[in-house]
Amino acid sequence: MKKPIESVFKKLFSKEPLLVFSPGRINLIGEHTDYNEGFVMPAAIDKKMIVAIAANQSRQGRIYSMDFDEEFAFDLDSFGPKKGHWATYVMGVAAQLQQAGYEVQGFDMVFGGDIPVGAGLSSSAALEAAVGFALSELFDFKIPQRSLIHYSQKAEHVFAGVQCGIMDQFASVMGKKEHVIRLDCRSLEFQHFPLHLPDHCILLIDTCVKHSLADSAYNKRREECQTGVTAAQKLHPEIKSLRDMDLEILAGIRDQISDPVFNRCKYVIEENERVIKASDSLDNSDLSGFGKIMYASHAGLSELYEVSCEELDYLVDYTKNLDFVLGSRMMGGGFGGCTINIVEKSNLEKLQKMISRDFELKFGAKPKFYEVSLENGTGLL
C-alpha cells in the first residue's frame, strides 16, 4: 500500500509526504464487556490505514481517499460533520485537536488501506488514529499516546455520531508485535501478554452478513445490563457497573429481574472472568486452554447474551471437532461479521476449502477468509 499512496500524493500535490500508519484490530476475548467497565483483550493486526501528509501553507485541509477515489476539501476555520461521508472521520480528528488547543495548519493528505470494511476490524478507528498521529508529527504537537486515543474516540462520538467504547482506538495506538493487550476499560490500565504462534495462525472467517437486528439489539443489551446494575444497587449501593458484581450478588437479585436481564448480566460477569483466565493461559503458554476459553465465550454470547446468529454459530460449531482448530468464537457486535479462530498452519488451506464448500451449500454464499498477524500500533512508516 505504501508505494501507491506515496505515488498518488506526489502526483496530486507535487511534493514529498510524511508517511504514517495505524493498524486495524481484532479482539481475542472480552466481547460486550467494554461498555460495562470490564476487561477486553484486543490486538493490533497487520492490516492497516496509511496516511501521506504535508503542510500546504493555507487554511484548508485537502484530502484524497484512495479507497473511494474521491477528493474533498474543507476550511479549517469553518467546518462540521458531513453525515455518512468518509471525510467526517478526518475532520472529526482535526476538530478535536483544535478544541484541545493545537494550532492545526493547512495540510494535504492521501490515505488508503487494506483493512476490509464491514468485517469488524475497526477501519474507522485506525483512520482516526493515523490522522491524529500524522497531524501531531507534521506540526510537532508531540501529542501523548493516551491523548491521541481519546481525541480519536471523541471524533467518532461527536462527528461520526457513534458512541463507541475505547477499545478500538486503544488497540490501534498501543498494539505490540506478537502480543495482545489486556485492557481495563474502567481505569485504562493495560498489560501486554505474549501470543507466540509458531505452529498456529489467527484466521478470521467473515460470514459477509449483517442482520438488521445489530444496532437495535446493541442498545437493548446496554439497557438490560443497566437494569441489572440498578437492581443490585438497592442492596449494594457501592456498585457502579457489572464490573463490580459477581455471580453471588447476581443470584441475590434473581427475583427482582427478568430472565433476559439475568442472562445478560451472567454473561458479562463470566466473560470478565474469562479474560483474566485467558491472560493466565498466555502467561503459561497454554494455547489449548486459551482456545477452550474462546469456545466458552462464544457459548455465552450465543445462549446468554443472544447476539450471535445462525451463520456465526454454524462456523463455530463446524470447528469444534477438528483437532487442528484450538478455539473459535464470534467477534464484534454480533448478528453477522466474523469468527476468530486459532488454526494449525499446516491445515489452514484444508480448513478454508472445507468451510467454503459447506458454508455455501448451507447458506448460498461463500465466506471470506483473512489470516492476520499481531503487529505494532500507530507509528511512522
Q: Is 33 annotated as a binding residue?
A: yes
Count Cβ atoms below 10 Å from residue 185 Cβ, excluding itself: 23
Among 81-90, 93-102, 370-379, the minimum mean pLDDT is found in 81-90
Does position 137 have pLDDT exceeding 90, yes or no?
Answer: yes
Count Cβ atoms below 10 Å from residue 58 Cβ, excluding itself: 14
Are 191 and 355 in contact by the 8 Å Cβ rule? The answer is no
What band does 261 get if pLDDT is binned at 50, 70 and 90? very high
What band does 184 get if pLDDT is binned at 50, 70 and 90? very high
Q: What is the pLDDT of residues 98-111, one digit of tens each?
A: 999 999 999 999 99
Predicted local distance difference test score (pLDDT) of residue 119: 79
Q: Is 121 annotated as a binding residue?
A: yes
Q: What is the pLDDT of residues 317-368, one digit of tens each?
A: 999 999 999 999 999 888 999 999 999 999 999 999 999 999 999 999 999 9
Q: Is 206 annotated as a binding residue?
A: no
Q: Is 172 annotated as a binding residue?
A: no
Q: Is 118 annotated as a binding residue?
A: yes
Q: Average pLDDT in the 190-219 region? A: 89
- Distance between CA atoms of 251 and 194, rounded to whole angstroms? 36
Mean predicted lDDT score pLDDT of the chain: 95
- Distance between CA atoms of 87 and 112, rounded to whole angstroms? 12
Tally helices (H) and strands (E) across the chain. 11, 12
Does position 213 have pLDDT exceeding 90, yes or no?
Answer: no
What band does 217 get if pLDDT is binned at 50, 70 and 90? confident
Does position 122 have pLDDT exceeding 90, yes or no?
Answer: no
Does position 92 have pLDDT exceeding 70, yes or no?
Answer: yes
pTM, whole model, 2 decimals? 0.92
Q: 347: part of which helix (H) or strand (E)?
A: none
What band does 87 get if pLDDT is binned at 50, 70 and 90? very high
Q: Average pLDDT in the 258-263 region? A: 98
Q: 163: part of which helix (H) or strand (E)?
A: none
Does position 211 have pLDDT exceeding 80, yes or no?
Answer: no
- Per DSSP bridges, beta strands 325-331 and 336-344 are antiparallel
Q: Is 242 annotated as a binding residue?
A: no
Q: Which of 318, 276, 323, 271 is nearest to 299 (CA)?
A: 271
- The neighbouring-strand residues paired with 343 are 201, 325
Share of the chain above pLDDT 70, in %: 99
Does position 247 have pLDDT exceeding 80, yes or no?
Answer: yes
What band does 214 get if pLDDT is binned at 50, 70 and 90? low
Q: Average pLDDT in the 185-207 region? A: 95
Catalytic residue numbers, as ranges: 168
Predicted local distance difference test score (pLDDT) of residue 165: 79
* Domains of the chain, earliest start first: 2-194 (3.30.230.10), 200-372 (3.30.70.890)
What band does 118 get if pLDDT is binned at 50, 70 and 90? confident
Q: Is 34 annotated as a binding residue?
A: yes
Buried b (16+ CB within 10 A) or exposed e, 76-96: beebebeeeebbbbbbbbbbb
Contacts of 150 (CB under 8 A, 6+ apart): 166, 169
Q: How far is CA 53 from CA 14, 23, 66, 312, in A?
A: 12, 17, 14, 40
What band does 210 get if pLDDT is binned at 50, 70 and 90? confident
φ, ψ of residue 123 in degrees (nearest 5): -65, -35
- Per DSSP bridges, beta strands 60-65 and 107-113 are parallel
- The CA-based dihedral angle spanning residues 191, 334, 154, 62, taken in that order and rounded to the nearest 10 degrees: 110
Q: Is 31 annotated as a binding residue?
A: yes
Q: Is 227 annotated as a binding residue?
A: no
